Structure 1
Amino acid sequence: MSIRDRLQGIVTASSTKPNLAVAAVNNQGALHDNVGYYELKSRIHEGLLNRMDLAVMESLPQERLLTEIKHLVEKLLIEERTPINDTERLRIIQDIQHEVLGLGPLEPLLADPTISDILVNTHRQVYVERRGKLELTDAHFANEAHLRKIIDRIVSRVGRRVDESSPMVDARLPDGSRVNAIIPPLALDGSLVSIRRFAVIPLKVEDLINYKSMTPEVAEIIGGLVKAKCSILISGGTGSGKTTLLNIMSSFIPHNERIITIEDAAELQLQQPHVVRLETRPPNVEGKGEITQRSLVRNSLRMRPDRVIIGEVRGAEAIDMLQAMNTGHEGSMATVHANTPRDALSRIENMVGMAGLNLPPKAIRQQISSAITAVIQVSRLPDGKRKILSIQEITGMEGDVITMQEIYLFEQTGVAPDGAVLGHFRATGIRPKFAERLRVHGVPLRDDLFDPTKRYE
């Protein structure tokens, strides 16, 4: 989207706000209300559009462009002669810079490293999540048209669209943050946007240990599983930290391996040098051209992968994932939405059924039990903290049932007066069958890792 389109779009959105009145001014020169602020900003936008040499501006680097916009806005504010204080002057300059080069009112929120989620509930209301808790912010958009312009800017960057014929869309920001937008007529009160933030500097194992999301012992077991090329399934609810854990687990993969990632919206931040990233494609306006995760999984097997990592298994691609794990692509990893490890296996079984192969349940379960070595359950607790709740090993089949044994767990013991969840990590005392495989691959596990008498807060 060109600078001209951005400016004209925002000016149009701002000018359509109903019943705009001239801003009232108090004795200190401060604008009394948002109505006056938006009217002033709209006039500055229009003046900027008339003054800027857009052809020259398009060729300038971003830092130079920001400076030029600042100078022009300051000049226009002097010409306006509307008494405003320094804080309001700086706010108008920053807002217009964000409108031209960024995502408008969302830019200050995206720059805040403490925010993990941004939830736009129509143009009037924006919530954020900090440290697991939701907070209402002062940010809002001029009107519905303004919000739609920002949504269009986000989705157009990744070659996607959103309109009445396709009112839902998944996209991503340049930093890998995941975006979901849904517009009327599906959203009754106005367009909605949900942004799942990802750290600019990816978290490391040490960070999760410091946050008490896991213990060094749990990290040692998980690292051994990855290094020994055991196939792992990460299970958890929305916002529980599945993708974050998958990113961290990938750090244990040797740097000489070829990794292929497959996602609906690219969000993984793998640090290895040899990573090939694939992303699905939605259908076009005519309803054609869709590329599903299943197609990408099948194609990835022709690309000589050492490991295949699926961002989230959610459909018929489950059968291709299991077959890949069973036919020489061990060490692959994926995430799935489920409340418990047992539920995760049931969901995989149901998704295999979506492939339409008419396999008997026992055959599907045999595929699952032979393909997956361990299931790691993660959760966001009531106090907002995310923890690894359980590591369970799949040991085989007994009759028609997949057998599992728990190796490590987080045991909740209560809730503190301030709402913090109390509990500890501990081993169950069971030495896993995969311990021998890890030893053969040069990653022996110490016996004291499985001592059930030890407690880790």
Structure 2
Amino acid sequence: MNWVSRLGQVKDTGTPSQKTGSENYSDIGPRTDKYQSLKEAVHREVVTEYNTRFAENRSGEDSSVDMMEIIRQLIGRQEQTLTRLEESKIAQEIYDDVMGLGPLEVFLRDSSVSEIMVNAPNQIYIERSGKLELTGSRFRDNAHVLNVINRIVSSVGRRCDESNPMVDARLADGSRVNAVIPPIALKGPTITIRKFSAVPLKIEDLIGYNTLSPQMASFLEACVKGRCNTVVSGGTGSGKTTLLNVLSGYISDQERIVTIEDAAELQLKQNHVVTLEGRPSNIEGKGVVSIRDLVRNALRMRPDRIIVGEVRSGETLDMLQAMNTGHEGSLTTVHANSPRDVVSRMETMVMMSGMELPAKAIREQISSAIDLVVHQSRFRDGSRKIVNVSEIIGMEGDTVTMQDIFVFKPNGVDSMGKVAGQFVPTGIHPKVVEKIRNNGVLCKDEWFLQKGW
């Protein structure tokens, strides 16, 4: 790989005796490692050697530099006897530290890890199969964590310092990153990485994970193709974005899609996709581009579908208006505890727009704009399931009326400690079926029958 074109000159990330910008933080003692001094010595030499070769090759035709080869050569020069396994392990750790995200790289490479959480330099947790695990990996100190944070956020044009101690960013593969540093984080810099699989999940995968039934999957596919406005709801970590990504895959390649997110996470495969990403303020407190700004701008971009990663405040009003004014089939997610809670949450968020609308007018907007609410939950065993597929059918007085089409009925736990239960239709025939069929999409009545499963 051409490491020069990827990074340019490498900067020394510092050793415990070379802290950068963390003198005011309470450092935790260095990790107990008999090879620590060797790693620090090789690390410093690697940076010097790499930058020397970079300077020499900058004007040449072949500017590639094999970083791993440099590291192995420098380890060989050290007067220390190592087995081949030890040498390979040390070389990989140094490589990860110089070219990647240090001790986090091993978890980023592990496809079974879905989340990485750094609580302190000496405390790194991961989530695997829905369960949290404390790892044995460590950062050297707070300065080491800060360097990794700066490497992440600088690559996407953002910053994290005492004046802006919280930041959202993303990795090159689309994984979402949140970082918080002192003085906000009292134990030291904190990193949370929500990983996304290299190959996006498909509906077949969700069926295999028992997230939903085949009948529910067929109905949701028909709803997306039939241009139903859909809200995916659920709590933190319930799988909303994953499901949104799967549902987005059903949109025709002939339609113009505009996606709007705080940090770009959606992995759409269609050709006609415009991806917009919000921007925080600069060091002067200016230049912020909010999700609401992007939703408003998207309306001028001739979109067939608008997909908002998550509505959190005033942009909810603009999203509802877009759904009501010719952008049918749009999708978004919202934090909520139930389908009914979605309505009250969205009502509150519309009020945050600053428009003094009466409550009934807001509810009428919601009832006319949204066709379907898909609510997902995360259970104690780590599994994620769609527990409600609900239809919004209109207003009765001042109340938005809803009806469940599919529900998940839990039935205790099985012998493996997994949540048992079944996905069942309520027997109600959705009113949205007419809209789906009018758009030329097949929708079978047998999907909604309580018998014959």
State whether TM-score is above 0.5.
yes
Q: CA deviation at 1:49?
A: 3.0
Q: 1:368 to 1:91 in 2, by over 3 A?
A: same
- Are 1:376 and 2:374 counterparts? yes
The within-5 A match list for 1:120-199 is 120-199=118-197
1:296 matched to 2:315? The reply is no
Q: Aligned letter for 1:229?
A: R
Counterparts of 1:411 and 1:126, CA distance in 2 = 36
Q: Report 1:172-251 matches (<5 A).
A: 172-251=170-249
2: CA distance between counterparts of 1:412 and 1:253? 32
Deviations 1:335-380 (A, max 9, x none): 0001100111111100000011110000000000000001000111
How far 1:56 moved relative to its partner? Answer: 4.2
- With over 3 angstroms needed to count, the CA separation of the structure-2 counterparts of 1:2 and 1:230, relative to structure 1, is closer
Structure 2 SS opposite 1:163? coil
Q: Conserved in 1, the CA contact under 8 Å of 2:225 and 2:252? A: yes
Structure 1 residues 265 and 59: CA distance shift in structure 2, 3 A? farther
The answer for the alignment partner of 1:343 in structure 2 is: 341
Correspondences of 1:276-295 after superposition (within 5 Å): 276-295=274-293
CA contact (8 A) 1:182 1:191 kept: yes
- Tell me, in whole angstroms, the C-alpha distance in 1 between the residues paired with 2:155 and 2:388: 39
Name the CA distance, whole Å, in 1 between partners of 2:201 and 2:216. Answer: 16
Residues 4 and 36 from structure 1, CA distance in 2 versus in 1: closer, same or farther, beyond 3 angstroms? farther
Q: Cα–Cα, structure 1 residues 341 and 62, in superposed 2: closer, same or farther, change >3 Å?
A: farther
Q: Aligned with 1:170: secondary structure?
A: strand
The CA deviation at 1:262 is: 0.4
Q: Which residue in 1 is equivalent to 2:78?
A: 80
Report the TM-score when normalising by structure 1.
Answer: 0.92
For 2:16 and 2:430, the matched residues in 1 are separated by 61
CA distance in 2 between partners of 1:236 and 1:392 (Å): 13
Give CA-to-partner distance per residue, 1:371-422, whole Å, 9 cap, x none: 0001000111111111111100000000000000000011101122432101
How far 1:2 moved relative to its partner? 5.1
Residue ranges of structure 2 left out of the alignment (5+ in a row): 1-5, 20-26
Residues 319 and 19 of structure 1: CA distance in aligned 2, closer, same or farther (over 3 Å): closer
TM-score by length of 2: 0.93
Structure 1 runs, 4 residues or longer, greater than 6 Å off = 17-20, 57-63
Structure 1 window deviating more from structure 2 (218-227 vs 90-99): it is: 90-99
Contact (CA 8 Å) 2:28, 2:122: kept in 1 or not?
Answer: no
Q: 1:36 aligns to what SS in structure 2? A: coil
1:34 positional shift: 3.1
Match of 1:404 among 394, 399, 402: 402
- The size of the alignment, in residue pairs, is 439
Q: Say if 1:449 and 1:107 are closer, same or farther in 2 by CA, change over 3 A.
A: same
Partner residue in 2 for 1:34: 32
3-state SS of paired residue (1:412): strand
**Alpha-carbon distance change, 151 to 63 in structure 1, aligned in 2, over 3 angstroms:** farther
Distance 1:230 1:452 in 2: 23
The CA distance in 1 between the partners of 2:151 and 2:337, in whole Å, is: 35
Q: CA RMSD in A?
A: 2.1
The residue type equivalent to 1:281 in the other structure is R
Shift of 1:79: 2.5
Contact 1:127/1:137, CA 8 A, preserved across alignment:
yes
Native 8 Å contact 1:282 1:291 kept in 2? yes
Out of 357, 360, 363, the position equivalent to 2:361 is 363
Which residue is 2:23 aligned to? Answer: none
C-alpha contact (below 8 Å) 1:14/1:42 kept by paired residues: no
2:101 aligns with one of 91, 100, 103: 103
Deviation at 1:212, TM superposition (A): 1.3
One-letter code aligned to 2:106: P
User: For the residues of structure 1 that align with 2:36 and 2:357, how far apart are their CA atoms?
Assistant: 61
How far residue 190 of structure 1 moved from its aligned partner, in angstroms, is 0.6
Query: What is the Cα deviation at residue 75 of structure 1?
Result: 2.8
Counterpart for residue 24 of structure 2: none
**Residue 351 of structure 1: SS of its match in structure 2?**
helix
CA contact (8 A) 1:2 1:58 kept: no
The answer to whether the 8 Å contact 1:227/1:443 transfers is: yes
Compute the displacement of 1:137 (Å): 1.3
2:323 paired residue number: 325
> 8 Å contact 1:14–1:146 — kept in the other structure?
no
Residues 14, 359 of structure 1: alpha-carbon distance in 2 compared, 3 angstrom cutoff: same
Partner of 1:421: 419
Aligned amino acid, residue 300 of structure 1: A
Which string of whole-angstrom CA distances, capped at 9 and with x for unpartnered residues, describes residues 206-229 of structure 1? 111111111111011101111111
Secondary structure of the structure 2 residue equivalent to 1:414 = strand
Supply the AA of the counterpart residue of 1:264.
D
Sequence identity (%): 51
Structure 1 match to 2:55: 55
Question: Higher mean Cα deviation, 266-275 or 43-52?
Answer: 43-52
Please give the alpha-carbon distance, in whole angstroms, between the structure 2 residues aligned to 1:449 and 1:437: 16
Q: How does 1:110-125 map to 2 (within 5 A)?
A: 110-125=108-123
Q: In the superposition, relative to structure 1, how do residues 375 and 153 fare at CA in structure 2: closer, same or farther (>3 Å)?
A: same
Secondary structure in structure 2 of the residue aligned to 1:34: coil
